[in-house]
Amino acid sequence: MKVRWALLTIAAALVLGIGAGFAFGQVARPLMQMALSCMLLDEAEKAGYLDKQKRSVLIDQAAKAKSLDSSARQSVLNLKAGCLT
């Protein structure tokens, strides 16, 4: 009887852990993508590959790409408005 409850408790904890991880991933993904994208653009600027004008042109070209779906296009527009640099 104790073994059954232990296994049920383990199974319930596993299901709750997976569900919580999935929910956190859905909430945090856009923020993490924005932070990573801004960081990569900043590093490209520091390395001398981009300047402010080239960065703006790059983001504008990405926003106009026909291969992007609506959510990716919105992310690019957020990238233009969202980076603090």
Measured CA to CA, the distance from residue 84 to residue 34 in angstroms comes to 11
**Which pTM does this prediction carry?**
0.62
Cα dist. 51→21, 24, 46, 80 in Å? Answer: 38, 35, 9, 14
Task: Return the pLDDT at 7.
Answer: 93
Q: How many domains does the chain have?
A: 1
3-state secondary structure of 12: helix
The range of the structural domain enclosing residue 42 comes to: 2-82
Residues of the chain with confidence (pLDDT) below 70: 82, 84-85
Task: Return the pLDDT at 84.
Answer: 59
